[in-house]
Amino acid sequence: MENKKDQSGKIVLMAAVSILIGLYFAVMVTPIRALSLDELLVKVERQYDLTQDFEAGFIQETTLKSLAKTEREQGRLYFKRPGKMLWQYEKPQRKTLVVNPEKSWLYLPEDRVAYVQQTDRLLQSTAAVRLLSGFVGIKNDFHVQFAEADQGERKGNYFLRLIPREGNAGFSQAHIEISGATYFINRIWFEDPYGNVTRVTLFNTKLNQKLKDDKFLFRIPVGVEIYSLP
């Protein structure tokens, strides 16, 4: 049976997948009329091609089904194509999540431990891996449809639902909220195969900041224990 730390490590790594998916729904268009799904996907792909990197503040709320509790965390997120991410968690505890195309690292400084996992094993499917390299052909990998807004969500935004066509995709479904004012990603609702639900809200987003590659390197601190996740 997995211990609490191993399970929490997997949950945080899986949350990274939701942000990668959400990036591809960051569109900036002028809404003269309501877009059809196909029109929206074309706009999304075009905007993704123009976005080399971004940084944003984030609030992450994760409901752990097995523990019957919700954890709220906050920090700063950095993304750079292709498939590089750095999550700097600031509250309530510091931790660092680094995702690269090959490996993903979760560092818990207070515990002096780091978890490492092959990114392709993290994503667990060809369909999800494709999202790291581009948006073309998303409908071949996912059932994509407009979704109804949840209670409390603002009107005027776009809401999309993604369901993997393959059963081993590593997540069961994702909901994406896109701002009707700015047409950038507002929030992601993500459910993994274990029944854990993660909601990520982005704010103060800045595009194309010319982030350096070495920002996404994880250098193992002296004295830190390393644990490999399957």
pLDDT tens for 52-89 read: 898 999 999 989 988 889 999 999 999 898 888 899 99
Whether the per-residue pLDDT at 180 is higher than 50: the answer is yes
Mean pLDDT over residues 190-208, rounded? Answer: 87
Integer Cα distance of 10 and 98 in angstroms = 13
Q: Judge if the upstream peptide bond of residue 92 is cis by omega within 30 degrees of 0.
A: yes
Q: Is 0.75 topped by the overall pTM?
A: yes
Whether the per-residue pLDDT at 128 is higher than 60: the answer is no
Q: How many CB atoms lie within 10 A of CB 19?
A: 22
Residue 170: name the closest of 196, 145, 200 by CA. 196
Integer Cα distance of 30 and 86 in angstroms = 31
Whether the per-residue pLDDT at 126 is higher than 50: the answer is no
Residue 110 has which token pair? 């207070």
Q: Which domains does the chain have, with CATH numbers?
A: 4-214 (2.50.20.10)
User: What is the rounded average pLDDT for all residues in the chain?
Assistant: 79
Confidence of residue 112 (pLDDT cuts 50, 70, 90): very high
Integer Cα distance of 73 and 108 in angstroms = 14
Tokens 């399957």 — which residue?
230
Confidence of residue 178 (pLDDT cuts 50, 70, 90): confident
Q: What percent of the chain has pLDDT over 90?
A: 29
Per mean pLDDT, which of 138-142, 152-156, 196-200, 214-218 is the most reliable?
A: 214-218
Instruction: Give every strand in the sheet of 225-228, ordered side by side.
Output: 142-146, 158-164, 173-178, 185-191, 197-207, 53-64, 69-80, 84-91, 95-99, 103-108, 113-118, 225-228
Query: Which of 14-23, 47-56, 77-86, 114-123 is predicted least confidently?
Result: 14-23
